[in-house]
A and B are shown apart, each in its own frame.
Chain A
Amino acid sequence: MDDLKKRLNQPSVESRQEWVGKLISYLAIILIGGLVGTILVFLTFKGVALFKNNGVSVWHFLSSTDWQPSHHHYGALPMIITSFSVTVLSGIVALPLALVVSIAITEMLPKKIYQFFQPLIELLVGIPSVVYGYLGLTVIVPYLRQLFGGTGFGILAASCVLFLMILPTMTSMTIDSLQAVPQKYRQASAGLGATRWQTISRVIIPSAKSGILTAMVFGMARAFGEALAVQMVIGNTTVIPKNLMESSATLTSVLTTGIGNTVMGTASNNALWSLALILLVMSLAFNLLMRLASKKGAK
């Protein structure tokens, strides 16, 4: 009798399985969350070492224009300016073109064409950034050199490469947000006698606005964080660029070339980690912007 009672009271195989399964899946998600926390803590910790241990002030680091780690000059302003200019330039050019292509595909061209283009856009999204960088190095840089003289390396070349790189991503996101506009809106607008352009400009774009904005911020975030493609065409001189055709350096390009050439723990190495911290903070800021953009649409 006692034995039976014990057997009935103990958890069944099923409920034990449930418990183990839930635990495993919970551990997996905790591991990912912990990983994100570790990344943020580690990079912040390494990033502030320059200010804490080497006595460089944050303001000096952000506003000084002189970057010569071998002479203990740590001014990150040139890289910050270059990083922002390539990002903004490529984003500004890519947004209207991505929009135009998506409108043409979703609103104007027959569905067959979309079915043909969709795998192509997917392929373009998947092409590695290094290939875009290589394309820049072998096609865009020589072309710019012919057109404007000079070396061809610089902000303009980098912006062109980034533009090519983010355009497919932005286009596919914009297409998704245009397709998410309910068909009823189009019918209602047409029923009121609106032309196609009136429907597009007054109904479809306004109601897909937040999706389009998100696509733009996403593309710019990718452009800001891109390292190798930019490093290949920007020229890599850490000075404030005077024009678009002068060779300069972004945060990411300095990081890729620098980390291997400095010794862990030295001031010049710490300065690089501070650049990485700026990158991290900026990617968080882009993330916040994206949340704001999509929240605006949810209202």
Chain B
Amino acid sequence: MRPERVDKIATGVILGLAGLVGLIILSLLIYILAMGIPHISWHFLTTNAESFTAGGGIRDQLFNSLYLVVLTLIVSVPLALCAAIYLSEYAPQNRWTRMLRLAIEVLSSLPSVVVGLFGYLVFVLQFGLDFSLLAGALALTILNLPILTRSCEDALRQVPYLQRQAGLGLGMSKWRVTTKIVLPAALPGIITGAILSAGRIFGEAAALIYTAGQSSSAISYTDWNPFSPTSFLNPMRPAETLAVHIWKVNSEGLVPDARAVSNGSAAVLIITILLFNLVARYVGHRIKQRLTK
């Protein structure tokens, strides 16, 4: 066969297959959204979940998911940022550094269920945290650390070396150069990375079923004392997140409207993650604009 003919056939096959795959995946995405969006209403977002009767909402689950993301970021961002500063600014090129990098890589490849089991063993049982938001946040931190460290390190490395040299030439210490010159310049990248990782942990479930638990206790949104057992801010209460709720309702739930609840929850999850992605893009873009002005 002539090469031109082969080229034409190959082009046709590739474009056809790619179109088919794109179409299937797009239609599934639209299917979830189309099934779910009609169920999303103010009532659905603001009522308690029901265990046995229809008509339950996802208020607590949605709040727990968001709160868990905040708690996780509070723990993981400083830690990942410091580790990234060490790796990009201080780490010497030697065997020890290579080993630390390998450790981070190993951490990022652990299945989330394994991380969840480790969290159950250590945070829930050994530290005696029981099923709680705190134990869940620590487990999610383990999942989040490697990704966040890598994105922070990338952001720091993208700052031109000339800027560091200028600072060092003025007699500033390396730490001062890092915090006053490199860090502000790398901020858009760091914030974008943090928001993207937030989207990832927002939908995590496997690491949470044995750390944050699969049930929600009754909580009150008017109790602002984080030490009160019924307060919504109390990090020591067990908390079921939205993703866990979808799994639970479908695998062992008893609610008659499981389909409706999970359709709605799935759509809420996807929309929230879309929002996270959009915000990350917008924030990164905005800060970059302000810095280059």
A residues with a Cβ closer than 8 A to B are 14-15, 17-18, 20-22, 24-29, 31-33, 35-40, 42-43, 46, 97, 100-101, 103-105, 108-109, 117, 119-120, 122-124, 126-131, 133-135, 137-139, 164, 167-168, 194-198, 200-201, 221, 224-228, 231-232, 252, 255-256, 259-260, 264, 273, 276, 279-280, 283-284, 286-287, 290
Contacts and interface: CB of A to CB of B under 8 A. Distances in A.
| Chain B residues touching A, majority SS | helix
B113 A25 contact: no
Contacts, number: 238
A195 B259 contact: no
Interface string B95-115: 000011001111101111111
B7 A227 contact: no
A36 B103 contact: yes
Given A126-B199, A276-B117, A33 B14 contact: no
A124 B250 contact: no
B203 A130 contact: yes
A283 B118 CA distance: 15
Interface residues of B, number: 89
Nearest to B87: A29
A135 B19 CA distance: 21
Given A18-B174, A139-B31, A259 B117 contact: yes
Given A18-B175, A25-B85, A123-B273, A32 B250 contact: no
Q: Which of B86, B115, B243, B244 has the most chain A CB atoms closer than 10 A to its own CB?
A: B86
Nearest to A257: B251
A137 B146 CA distance: 31
B270 A131 contact: yes
B173 to A, nearest CB: 4
A130 B243 contact: yes
B277 A126 contact: yes
Given A123-B274, A134-B262, A260-B210, A232 B17 contact: no
Contacts of B118: 39, 42-43
A126 B198 CA distance: 10
Contacts of A232: 247, 250-251
A79 to B, nearest CB: 13
B18 A127 contact: no
Interface in B222-260: 243-244, 246-247, 250-251, 259
B166 interface: no
A173 to B, nearest CB: 14
A280 B25 CA distance: 31
A95 B144 CA distance: 27
A231 B103 contact: no
Given A28-B80, A28-B83, A32-B104, 9 more contacts: A32-B107, A39-B110, A120-B26, A122-B277, A126-B277, A131-B270, A225-B110, A225-B111, A232-B251
A255 B209 CA distance: 11
A283 B115 CA distance: 12
A135 B105 contact: no
